[in-house]
A and B are shown apart, each in its own frame.
Chain A
Amino acid sequence: MKFGIVINEGPYTHQASDSALQFVKSALAKGHEIFRIFFYHDGVNNGTSLGVPPQDDRNLPNEWSELAEKNGLDLVVCVAAAQRRGMLDEDEMKRHGKDSNNLVKGFRISGLGQLIEAGIQSDRLVTFGD
């Protein structure tokens, strides 16, 4: 079955990102397809490359990045939510004249159309949030 996942909460807030990660790992292990994971609202902070959690804690942005690389997942960050929160890739950095960018490898910035498409293309859309 094809799944779309929406994450509306940042990492280390409550549990949304952790729950989604466990859900996605389990779905993949069962042979399901993850069509897309859409990071919306504070969820865009899951894509930051600048977080430095303690060594004995999980690094959620890296876990998403590694899972995506291993399984060819499409991790999409909402552009409007990202701009408000200072999440930029190289193109957005140049476009807005900023001096750095901070999107972890494996994430990409795009718009709400990607969420709509995930809703249409997926058999199930599961939202994790606050």
Chain B
Amino acid sequence: MSALHIVNKSPFERNSLASCLRLAAKGSAVLLFEDGVIGAMKNTKHSDAVANAMSDVSFYVLGPDIKARGLNDGNVIDGIKVIDYDGFVDLTTEHKSVQSWL
């Protein structure tokens, strides 16, 4: 089992998503939540970095945090799975450790 990385800041505010993607091992998962959901949106200058990382890492985004920001599930980059808090809990159990990128 691999690690779950959780990123809670927008890539426009911090470089935590970039750091995470640079160091996340092949086969691990990344969950974007809180302001981190901005990193899951299509057509931003960070979208390509996320799309390119998808060959090695699986991506998830927290749906309630997308809605809380007035954003739309339809603008999520193809291949990123939208989940709720139950899905968040399941992800933590399915991976052997949880790394918060604070």
Partner of A128, one of B65, B89, B90, B100: B100
Q: Which residues of B contact A16 (CB under 8 A)?
A: 8, 34
* Separation of A27 and B87 alpha carbons in the complex (Å): 10
CB-CB contacts below 8 Å: A1-40 with B: 1, 3, 8, 14-16, 19, 22-23, 25-27, 29-30, 32
Contact B100 A15 (CB under 8 A): no
Measured as residues with beta carbon below 8 angstroms from the partner, the interface class of chain B is 10 to 19
Instruction: List the A residue with the shortest CB-CB distance to B34.
Output: A15
Is residue A126 contacting chain B, with contact meaning CB distance below 8 A?
yes
Q: Which residues of A contact B100 (CB under 8 A)?
A: 126-129
* Separation of A46 and B100 alpha carbons in the complex (Å): 20
Partner of B85, one of A26, A124, A125: A26
Is residue A130 contacting chain B, with contact meaning CB distance below 8 A?
yes
* Separation of A125 and B93 alpha carbons in the complex (Å): 11
Is residue B102 contacting chain A, with contact meaning CB distance below 8 A?
yes
Q: What sequence of 0s and 1s flags, for each residue 100-125 of chain A, a beta carbon within 8 Å of any chain B beta carbon?
A: 00000000000000000000000111
* Separation of A6 and B21 alpha carbons in the complex (Å): 23
Contact B89 A14 (CB under 8 A): no
Instruction: List the B residue with the shortest CB-CB distance to A32.
Output: B89
What are 29 pairs between A and B in contact, CB < 8 Å?
A1-B93, A3-B92, A14-B8, A14-B34, A14-B35, A15-B8, A15-B35, A15-B65, A16-B8, A16-B34, A19-B8, A22-B64, A22-B85, A23-B88, A26-B84, A26-B85, A26-B86, A26-B88, A29-B86, A30-B89, A30-B90, A32-B89, A123-B93, A124-B93, A124-B98, A126-B98, A127-B98, A129-B100, A129-B102
Residue ranges of B at the interface with A (Cβ–Cβ < 8 Å)? 6, 8, 33-35, 64-65, 84-86, 88-90, 92-93, 97-98, 100, 102
Residue ranges of A at the interface with B (Cβ–Cβ < 8 Å)? 1, 3, 8, 14-16, 19, 22-23, 25-27, 29-30, 32, 123-130
